[in-house]
Amino acid sequence: MLTDATADLTWAVLLALARHIAKGDTWIRTGDWPGWTPTQLLGADVSGKTLGIVGMGRIGQAVAQRASGFRMSVIYAGRHPVPTPPGLTWEWHPLDTVLAKSDFLSLHVPLTGTTRHLIGRRELRLMKPTAYLINTSRGPVIDEAALVSALEAHTIAGAGLDVYEHEPMVSAGLITLPNVVLLPHLGSATLETRVRMGLICLDNIAAVLGGRPAPNRVN
């Protein structure tokens, strides 16, 4: 239900990071654009780069499928390898290898005892200094203090976040950094997705009131 909306948003964040879209928009709105220059807001190519995915569930796989349009190599870390769709090449690797090889790293894991602070100081130091980190999963998967330090030190090139460790609070350190894109938890925020969510809720309510099991019960 949330898969496509969240995967699409992940790509929006990735492209915004790579091409300084948010910063360019701000320049225009504030009147700070000095006019075109050849070195202005130089970004990074996306096509042909390596996309690393941590967590290859439904959303992770949807993000990976979209990478084919950009001719990207896809590597991923997860509990086990997953079947690769025909015509695509996805490579399973241990997390440390994915961290070290990725130009763009996207997180798609649930928050559990083992994934809390999955990405911390050690993991960030394994990444390329030109790499970008994207998180549209759960905020506490990243040690936010470690991320701020890594961004300040240019240990990585930038980060795009839709979720935060202490949501709705956002670290002041993140807000003041120029190499981040920050969104207010928009992962499923499309009209179509929210309508489907509402209809599923109604189906579950109707089932329970009719004496039937809820079709989408959690436990």
Give Cβ neighbours of residue 174 (< 8 Å, ≥ 6 apart): 144, 147, 148, 151, 161, 164, 180, 182
CB 3, CB 59: distance < 8 Å: yes
Residue among 81, 93, 4 at smallest CA distance from 52: 93
Clarify whether 185 is annotated catalytic. yes
Q: Which helix (H) or strand (E) holds 158?
A: strand 158-161
Clarify whether 167 is annotated catalytic. yes
Catalytic annotation, pick one of 58, 93, 117, 185: 185
Clarify whether 93 is annotated catalytic. no
Q: Which amino acid is at 94?
A: P
Catalytic annotation, pick one of 71, 167, 194, 212: 167
Catalytic annotation, pick one of 66, 123, 138, 165: 138
Please provide residue 52's backbone torsions phi and psi, each rounded to the nearest 5 degrees.
-105, 135
**18 forms bridges with which residues in the sheet?**
none
Task: Return the active site residues.
Answer: 138, 167, 185
